[in-house]
């Protein structure tokens, strides 16, 4: 066993819930990219992306991350083609024609479209990446979620 030496009185407990981010476009940055071989026999080589919200653009969601797995060398052509189109979208969003190393994906801002995957099969709801675009493109940035609050029998729309 290891010596932890942790004093919980020095660190505030985690109070934020990590509910999925609302559907929409977010300015983000790839902070991790690695190639690995999938566990199943037909998965082939995959690109795992760790993508983080750009705190300057979405302060409320600062530090939130999503992961995207691109099966770029999958045995099934359909899966492989989808992954390669996604990688092409990333390259275009970053303004490059070719990517020689995963490190070239790191740190540059891009827009990422997130959608909520509903809870199912014992897993909680989560986010899936459903698109990539260049910062400054015509994709609308995500807005804070709208909350309905009844007031005097009528509903008032208020930003959370």
Residue ranges and CATH numbers for the domains of the chain are 19-135+142-159 (2.40.50)
pLDDT of residue 127: 96
Q: Give the chain's residues under pLDDT 50.
A: 144-160
- Of 117, 125, 140, the closest CA to residue 26 belongs to 140
Kindly provide the b/e burial profile for residues 50-61, where b requires at least 16 CB atoms within 10 angstroms of the residue's own CB: ebbbbeebbeeb
Residues 6+ apart with CB under 8 A from 158: 146, 147, 149
CA-angle at 95, arms to 23 and 71, nearest 5°: 60
Q: What is the pTM for the complete model shown?
A: 0.75
List, for residues 114-153, the tens digit of each pLDDT value: 999 999 999 999 999 999 999 988 765 555 444 434 444 4
């Amino acid at each position: 066993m290891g010596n932890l030496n942790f004093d919980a009185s020095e660190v505030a407990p985690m109070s934020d819930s990590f509910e999925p981010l609302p559907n929409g476009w977010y300015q983000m940055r790839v902070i991790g990219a690695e190639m690995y071989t999938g566990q199943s026999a037909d998965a082939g080589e995959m690109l795992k992306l760790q993508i983080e919200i750009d705190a300057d653009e979405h302060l409320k969601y600062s530090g939130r991350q999503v992961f995207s797995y691109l099966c770029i060398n999958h045995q099934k052509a359909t899966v492989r083609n989808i992954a390669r189109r996604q990688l092409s979208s990333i390259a275009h969003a970053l303004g490059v024609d070719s990517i020689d190393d995963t490190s070239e994906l790191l740190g540059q801002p891009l827009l990422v479209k997130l959608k909520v995957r509903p809870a199912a099969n014992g897993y909680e709801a989560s986010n899936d990446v459903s698109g990539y675009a260049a910062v400054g493109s015509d994709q609308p940035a995500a807005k804070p979620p709208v909350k309905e609050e009844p007031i005097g029998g009528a509903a008032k729309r208020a930003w959370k």
